[in-house]
Amino acid sequence: MPETVRERWRTANRFADVLEAEVKMRRNPLAARVVSWFNLCRVCQDLEEQMLLAPQPGEDDSQLHRALLSTAIASGEGLLLECDDAETLKPLRLTPPALAAKVESLRVTFTQWHTELKPERQAAILKEAFRGTV
């Protein structure tokens, strides 16, 4: 992997670490931590876009993406545990179910990128998607 690419991934990882720390700092208001979390999610998306554009994403790329997605999922779950009062998210025009939907979206992304699909499961999905005409 070229050094410029390697440095870009290191920078993304450092940025993600800072955002994760912000999400976990309970001294900050929940709304501010949710904004930091969405920024962490954006770092994951940026990595996905880079991987899609790369001719052949490397194992390092995949490993970093897997780690960042796992971190974002865990941090989002932590925020959901704190969202017992929907009013705290109102300034962001969010609701706890919207936050939960984003966490679920991250899980789906993780499965798509980092889980091997077994032939039986693939067949079931195709059958369901095409109404049994596969």
Domain ranges of the chain: 3-129
Distance CA 124, CA 106 (A): 22
The answer to whether 65 and 52 are in contact (CB under 8 A) is no
Can you read off the two tokens belonging to residue 54? 């790369």
Burial of 100 (0-12, 13-18, 19+ CB in 10 A): middle
Tokens of 109: 């992304």
The pLDDT mean for the chain works out to 85
Can you give the pTM of this predicted structure?
Answer: 0.77
CA 69 to chain centroid: 4
Q: pLDDT tens digits for 90-129?
A: 999 999 999 999 999 999 999 888 888 777 877 877 788 7
Q: 66 with 109: CB under 8 angstroms?
A: no
Q: What is the DSSP string of 20-52?
A: HHHHH-TTS-HHHHHHHHHHHHHHHHHHHHHHH
Q: How many CB atoms lie under 10 A from the CB of residue 130?
A: 9
Per-residue model confidence as pLDDT tens digits over 27-43: 889 999 999 999 999 99
